[in-house]
A and B are shown apart, each in its own frame.
Chain A
Amino acid sequence: MDSDRGENGDSSHNHVSKKPKLSAFISEEEIRQEFSHHQRGIARINNGSFGSCPASIIAAQKKWQLRFLQQPDDFYFNHLRKGLLESRTVVKGLINADSVDEVSLIDNATTAAAIVLQQIGRAFAQGKFQKGDVVVMLHCAFQSVKKSIQAYVTGAGGSVIEVQLPFPLTSKEEIVSEFRKGLEKGKSDGRHVRLAIIDHITSMPCVVVPVEELVKICRQEGVDQVFVDAAHAIGSVPVDVKEIGADFYVSNLHKWFFCPPSVAFLYCRKSPLSSEVHHPVVSHEFGNGLAIESSWIGTRDYSSQLVVPSVLEFVSRFEGGIEGIMMRNHEIVVKMGEMLAKSWGTNLGAPPEMCASMIMVGLPSRLFISSEEDAMRLRSYLRQHHGIEVPLHYQAPSDVEGGPKDKDGLVTGYARISHQVYNSFDDYCKFRDAINQLVEQRRSCKMLFME
């Protein structure tokens, strides 16, 4: 076993997390070195979109890539499957799955959505589901998932119900009650709700959804299948797939779990459904179960899927391992969010307990963000002229109450800030000051780029 590890090119040879650590934890300087490839001068507070990968994992990945280039046949016949099985086994342990057969490695959550929805589409086509049967999703589901539903569900005769996510919100009960309403609607007129797609952590606006509770409600209400899109979850919130109880659960490992682009796991609870899901790229392993099908979908670079064991080693260098990282990311992002909201006189989009390592912070009304285009323009401006990378969300005022206000008007824009181990206090100060500067200069979104 040790010699196998040595062949991996990993610098150490054991699962360090199992041994008591005698040496000191990773130092500030070492963290800086691990992320020294990040562009200097950029306040990188958008870890949510594309994630981040430390230098030692990139190095591990290059070793795997080189192995393939050196002797690809040997790599294919003797090393690839073993390496993938090791990665899947690590993931199984992280998420408390019963069996490694339930864990497949794929490119990203977008691919997982295609896999689950193709299966739904086939069920419609084969008459297992009736035309008009329903798929329920959150209205703020990630756009690629929405399009996937359009392609595979609506196209096959299914209908879709969107559950409004209240935002800003103050408690998870708001989400639960909207969800119940959505399910009711789905079951009306004698229809069946065949699938519920629930985000664990929504993208924009970003909140942590009470998935366990929603899955329970789905079971009570006779929903056939539940798919949790947890693109952001692993490395961000604790993930226990048995507790959560969904049929399908996907999370990207390159967002918050330090893997290179790109790799995600798709958990498929063992059930009669398991044999119905297939990877859309059919290759030699078709019919051998999704996990095995996914392990070979033609010649490509599988190296990002092979470094998962190396990431365990990396996180063990931090105090408390991944749990410690998650806890500190959460504490700091909340603190930074509160600091920004106070400085700008605005509000947070959700209470701290509904955030993980990202939080929504209201932007001053004086910026007059009145559309998604405005938000995008401001985002580009911040990137180009201030070296700040942060995604911005436009929240249309609700018809009834309008929405939260600052001293000058309605707050219609929110920044989704993140905190990851490489961030520093300066990143958030830079953002704070840039916004304050814009407000002082009385520059609204529409005026940006026009001077």
Chain B
Amino acid sequence: MSRAMCMTWRHSSRLFSCCPLPFTSPLLLAPSHFHYIISDIIVSHHHSHLLSSFTQNPSSQSSIMESSPPHHQQNESNGTHNISKKSKPMLISESDLRFEFSHHDPSIARINNGSFGSCPASVTAAQHHWQLLFLRQPDHFYFNRLQPAILRSRTLIKDLVNADHVDEISLVDNATTAAAIVLQQIAWAFTEGRFQRGDAVVMLHYAYGAVKKSIHAYVCRAGGQVIEVPLPFPVNSNEEIVDEFRRALMRGKANSGRVRLAVIDHITSMPSVLIPVKELVKICREEGVDQVFVDAAHGIGCTDVDMKEIGADFYTSNLHKWFFCPPSVAFLYCRKTPETCPELHHPVVSHEYGNGLAIESGWIGTRDYSAQLVVSDAIEFTNRFEGGIEGIKKRNHDGVVEMGKMLASAWGTNLGTPQEMCASLIMVGLPVSLGISSDSDAMKLRKHLRENFGVEVPIYYRHPKDGEVNPITGYARISYQVYNTIDDYYKFRDAVNQLVSDGFTCALFPK
């Protein structure tokens, strides 16, 4: 790798997606990265062929005569041709990658993939194809197309997450909906007397706000008690989490005897930490916890998601966050057990009530199901990257760790977790001089960064412990996804440096 080439790369911000930090991290200049340079030179005809299939006139594909055999339906319905079976697709080129995310606001350093995810143009095009199919002839779509397409998505997910049976995979809007489904069932158990008043539900203190409210709405209202597991932050090792978790289970069992449900985040939202779920699930089994629900909103496409390895009863993850699906679609996995499995239902009851959650979720009244139908297109998209989704995950992780260290070093702060306790998100301490002293400050600073510096990044306020000297009270949760470039992080670095050198503090925000 000649220095001259490195110079060229440094100024090509897009190439960062292939090769981060040519100067500071020789480790990352692995030979495999040459692939991207080569394919940039060789125009990817294959990709343009795929794109054109999304713009085909749908009327050429379906006709009044309905007797399309199944294989025709398959070609039509996923909007692509099964090229991957015939020849390995070329890796995505720089310019194609740029095109796929060209709808992103170019003035924004978009380092908050965690909140709302992102969706490449080719998957959006596939979605539009499905939406149009419905609008053209909705009855035909409802009677003949929708359910096979949903089944196909569920089957692909089952394979992705190593579930035993496609019955175990339901598609819902998002993890918030999945939480409502699991918790509704807990509420009924209390109402019907199968659980006793005072039985406990354990959750992490850093559980997502909406899930906490759901737990309070469904559990407390029905007579259960809630135990929160405090987690240290910054955190230094898995053992710290495991210890706190064990202690909380003890508390639950001491008060009432039974812990009926443990809700465990796979990757907490704010602050973001990768939790040792497999270990915690094991402890739950040892301690006789009835049900374990893993809220992995950030899981799929971000960290390893293997249902049998993790061993939870319920597991949910959003596909629109890190798996390139449009808003919104998530899967809820419900382990089929030999013992009585609690009966889950979708809260919006429709024709399929009683036919199992997966089938119930496949029809909850007239609505747009198209986001659930493009899983195959999202998988195809990931396969255009070296190593597929595994390669993407690894590079995202390496990239976000590098960027986190770069920022912490530039600001003289620290990371909130060791690098093995994060996936494609990392918490980076913000300079103390910014004076972040409340949740409100964090929100205002975030808005300030968006409006005045063109940086989109969520900020977390960490309440300092007694006795801490000059504590870091603000952490930025940066993300790394295939569309990011080093410039995004430089922009953030420079914005914060400027705020510091301007003597800015959050106290300056109007009340």
Contact = CB atoms under 8 A, between A and B. Distances in A.
Interface in A28-78: 37-42, 44, 46, 49-53, 58, 66, 68-74, 76-77
Contacts of B353: 144, 147-148, 150-151
Contact of A143 (B66, B105, B318, B351): B351
Contacts of B221: 122
B450 interface: yes
A301 B66 CA distance: 31
A40 B64 CA distance: 9
Interface stretch (B69-77, B132-140, B233-241, B270-278): B132-140
Contacts of A38: 135-137
Nearest to B135: A37
Contacts of B124: 69
A278 interface: yes
B288 interface: no
A52 B64 CA distance: 19
Nearest to A38: B136
B328 A298 contact: yes
B158 interface: no
Nearest to A144: B350
B345 A384 contact: no
A107 B191 CA distance: 28
B210 A298 contact: yes
Contacts of A44: 137
Nearest to A77: B447
A114 interface: yes
A41 B213 contact: no
Interface in A237-289: 252, 254, 260-262, 278, 280-284, 286-287
Given A108-B365, A110-B349, A280-B180, A299 B139 contact: no
A283 B210 contact: yes
Interface in B136-167: 136-140, 142-143
Contacts of A37: 132, 135-136
A299 B318 contact: yes
Given A73-B115, A108-B367, A58 B217 contact: no
B320 interface: yes
A281 B371 contact: no
A325 to B, nearest CB: 19
B173 A298 contact: yes
Interface string B196-221: 00000000000001100110111001
A111 B348 contact: yes
Nearest to B128: A62
A280 B328 contact: no
Interface residues of B, number: 69
A37 to B, nearest CB: 5
Contacts of A107: 348, 364-365, 367
Contact of B177 (A39, A42, A281): A281
B264 to A, nearest CB: 19
Given A42-B64, A70-B104, A301-B371, A111 B136 contact: no
A383 B139 contact: yes
A214 B214 CA distance: 37
Contact of B137 (A42, A110, A299): A42
A283 B213 contact: yes
B394 to A, nearest CB: 25
B218 A114 contact: no
B265 interface: no
A357 interface: no
A281 B368 contact: no
Contacts of B213: 282-284, 286-287
Interface string A69-95: 111111011000000000000000000
A152 B349 contact: yes
Interface in B350-368: 350-351, 353-354, 364-368
B330 to A, nearest CB: 9
A300 interface: yes
A417 interface: no
Given A281-B347, A282-B180, 15 more contacts: A58-B135, A69-B103, A69-B326, A74-B450, A114-B347, A252-B366, A254-B366, A262-B366, A280-B348, A286-B216, A286-B217, A299-B115, A301-B327, A383-B140, A389-B140
21 contacts: A37-B132, A39-B137, A50-B366, A70-B104, A71-B105, A71-B110, A73-B115, A111-B348, A117-B349, A118-B347, A144-B351, A144-B353, A254-B366, A260-B368, A261-B134, A281-B177, A297-B173, A298-B175, A299-B328, A300-B174, A301-B368
Interface of A: 37-42, 44, 46, 49-53, 58, 66, 68-74, 76-77, 107-111, 113-114, 117-118, 122, 125, 143-144, 147-148, 150-152, 156, 252, 254, 260-262, 278, 280-284, 286-287, 297-301, 304, 380, 383-384, 387, 389
Closest A-B pairs by Cβ, 7 of them: A110-B365, A298-B176, A280-B347, A72-B116, A50-B138, A282-B214, A298-B174
Interface of B: 59, 62, 64-67, 103-105, 108, 110, 112, 115-119, 124, 132, 134-140, 142-143, 173-177, 179-180, 183-184, 191, 209-210, 213-214, 216-218, 221-222, 318, 320, 326-328, 345, 347-351, 353-354, 364-368, 371, 447, 450, 456
